[in-house]
Structures are given as structure tokens and as C-alpha cells.
Structure 1
């Protein structure tokens, strides 16, 4: 027996200025458009993009006069959650998308994995 999707789905909730904003899951249509934007097939302005990835939370943030930088971080976080999953969304929220900070937070392979990679590369060397 399968559980209802809503029993399985863990909503994305982002704290901004002491308030919790719940980002609804992307609809099918929104998901297709998001994938089109990421793939370069579709272009859109910032406001339309934020409305797409943040859903009703975008309007709530605008009413609450949330700073643009916070909306931008929330949008990047929601996009990461949709595309890659919650762990990447958490990294995006903490780093704001800074590539150097993301790289520092990315899990490092353990010593045995690094050694086996080195051994495999060494065995391919003529």
C-alpha cells in the first residue's frame, strides 16, 4: 500500500526575518518551465522566475517587503531543491550560491576512496 504523496512530501520552509515561508512544490507546468529555463530553451525576467520557483511564497515575501537579496537566495534554494534535492538546497541556502563556499561544503571523498581513485589512474598510465 502506498502512502499519499502529501504524507511523504517534506515542504521547503525558509526562515526570513523571523517568519517561516513555505515554498509549495512545483506544479507539473512549473516544473516543465523550470527545466526549460535551466536547459536554456526558455528565457524569462527575474520576477517571473521567482514567482515560478517560489510559488505563492513570492507574493507573501513581496507583501512583507522581504529584501531582494533574501528573495534571490530563496529562489536559488527552491531551484536547488527542485532540481537536485534537499541536501543541495540546504547548501544553497547557507552559501547563497557562492561557488567557492559550495565547494568547501561539498562532501569530501574519504581517504580510501581517494586512494582507490589514485590507484585506478596509476594503473591506466602507460
Structure 2
């Protein structure tokens, strides 16, 4: 019988943020924070696509909620960054990067981090995703519910 390797031998549940010549290691979030970040991500995706869901009200954070989210995501690194007197844009970039790490994965966090937070740098990926989604939608349903197909079938039938 195959035996699983010990998780701590290969799994790193931290994120290291290099800021101002120093590495800040963000510990893994609590399960509660992880679930909150995933719900916020789902709410943001739904809001961006114009869908109304029970999560829609989560998509708009006020200033206090945004700060609380960064505190929760960064854990002890939040206070370390404040003590280092980083600027708000740097703190926000660290917070959003960590949020993406928690809600999506390390690759999404790295793309955001390396873009400097520039939405244009991330746009090609977004455009490709939207193009793929639109080409999938344009294929039509295989369920036979396409109105033009139903009309063609009904024209060939006699009542």
C-alpha cells in the first residue's frame, strides 16, 4: 500500500514578501480568514460579471473593512510593515498580494506582485479569459434548447 509523504516535508504554507531589502514571511491564514478571502473573491468575480448573488454585498469593502482584511491576511507582517514605516501603497500591495495568495494561489499572487499592481499588466490574462469564456458561450447548448434548432425541427414536423 502506498504511503503519503509527510506534508511538512514538501508543503510550504507561508508567503515571503521582499520589501525594502527585507523579507517578510506571512504565515498561513486561519481557516476562517481563508474562507473569508474565498468568499470575497467569489463576490468580486460575481460583481465584475454583473451577477447578483447573496455574496454581492461583500464585493464593496469600506476603508475599515479593507484595513481589517489586510490585517487578517498579513497577520504579524502587518504590524512589522507599519513599524518599518512603509507607505500606504506598499502596505496595500502587500495586502492584495497576500489576499490573492490566500483566495487563489501563489501564481496569481506572483503575477500581481510582479505587475506592481498595474491592472494593465494583468489585462492580457483577463482578455484571454474573457475571450475563452465568450467562445465557449457562442458554441451554444448541446441540450437542444437553442430556439433556432427547435424552430427548424418543428418546421419539419406535421401536426
Same-fold call, TM cutoff 0.5: yes
For residues 5-24 of structure 1, what are the structure 2 equivalents within 5 Å?
A: 5-7=7-9, 8-9=11-12, 11-24=14-27
Q: CA deviation at 1:107?
A: 9.8
Cα distance, 1:107–1:27 mapped onto 2, change above 3 Å: same
Which structure: larger Rg?
2
Counterpart of 2:92 (choices 72, 86, 99) is 72
Instruction: Report the TM-score when normalising by structure 1.
Output: 0.72
Aligned length: 115
Q: CA RMSD in A?
A: 3.1
Cα distance, 1:57–1:4 mapped onto 2, change above 3 Å: farther
Moved over 6 A (4+): none
Cα distance, 1:32–1:108 mapped onto 2, change above 3 Å: closer
Encode CA deviations 1:52-110: one digit per residue, 9 max, x unaligned.
Answer: 11111111111111111111111111111112211111110012433221024x3998x
Instruction: Report the TM-score when normalising by structure 2.
Output: 0.59
